[in-house]
Amino acid sequence: MKYDIVLGGVGGQGILLASQVIAQAAMNRGLKVMMAETHGMAQRGGSVISHVRLGDIYGALVPEGHADLVVGFEYMEAFRQLKFLAKGKKLIINAHRIKPVTLETYPELDFDLGDYDVLRLDASRIALNLGNPIVTNMVIVGAMSQFAQLPASQQEIKDAIRESVPSQFAEIDLKAFEEGVRAAQ
């Protein structure tokens, strides 16, 4: 068994924590886990990517065209990482748009997504409604757990959230997770 996930977004969106939660849940199940993430220069508001590989794997990088799940924490970033997704597999797109400072306006992006199984949601709005845009990442984790066949149950992921976040955030993060699950139903 092998399950490959690529998460794309903008530095500061909390991709790393989302990846860690999924990885922790899988690890608690006894699966082999590898993660590769962006550090350094690129973290400063640039595109960031995180590879999460679970199961029978060797390297930490998901081969292009072979991911089971690609998640865009930001609209444009979903498409940037689309090259990793295998045909027929799942794509989650957060509707939130962050305009790159180097562009005058946010570009119109239009790709044929017929090859993929797509879930669109506005995780950032859901998080805002919960009172804190910071929990967008946990909304997305919730949506992932509902929409994709992650090798970890929702209960296991909730346990991993409790393990991974500072205790004062656990409650709101778990609430965000539940909202994400609902949004993907």
Copy the structure tokens of residue 46. Answer: 């640039």
Q: Are 121 and 95 in contact (CB under 8 A)?
A: yes
Binders of other proteins in range 11-40 (CB under 8 A)? 11, 20, 23, 27, 32-40
Instruction: Give backbone dihedrals phi and psi of 24, rounded to 5 degrees, phi first.
Output: -60, -45
d(CA 83, CA 25): 26
Helix (H, G, I), strand (E, B) or coil at 103: coil
d(CA 79, CA 109): 9
If one asks whether residue 46 binds other proteins (CB under 8 A), the answer comes out as yes
d(CA 7, CA 77): 9
From candidates 21, 25, 60, 174, binder to other proteins by CB under 8 A: 60
If one asks whether residue 91 binds other proteins (CB under 8 A), the answer comes out as no
Residue among 29 and 182 whose Cβ is closer to other proteins: 29
If one asks whether residue 71 binds other proteins (CB under 8 A), the answer comes out as no
Residue among 99 and 163 whose Cβ is closer to other proteins: 99
If one asks whether residue 131 binds other proteins (CB under 8 A), the answer comes out as no
**Chain-centre distance for alpha carbon 67:** 13
If one asks whether residue 76 binds other proteins (CB under 8 A), the answer comes out as yes
* Residues at the contact surface with other proteins, assessed by CB under 8 A: 10-11, 20, 23, 27, 32-47, 57-61, 63-66, 76-77, 79-80, 82-83, 99-103, 107, 109, 111, 133
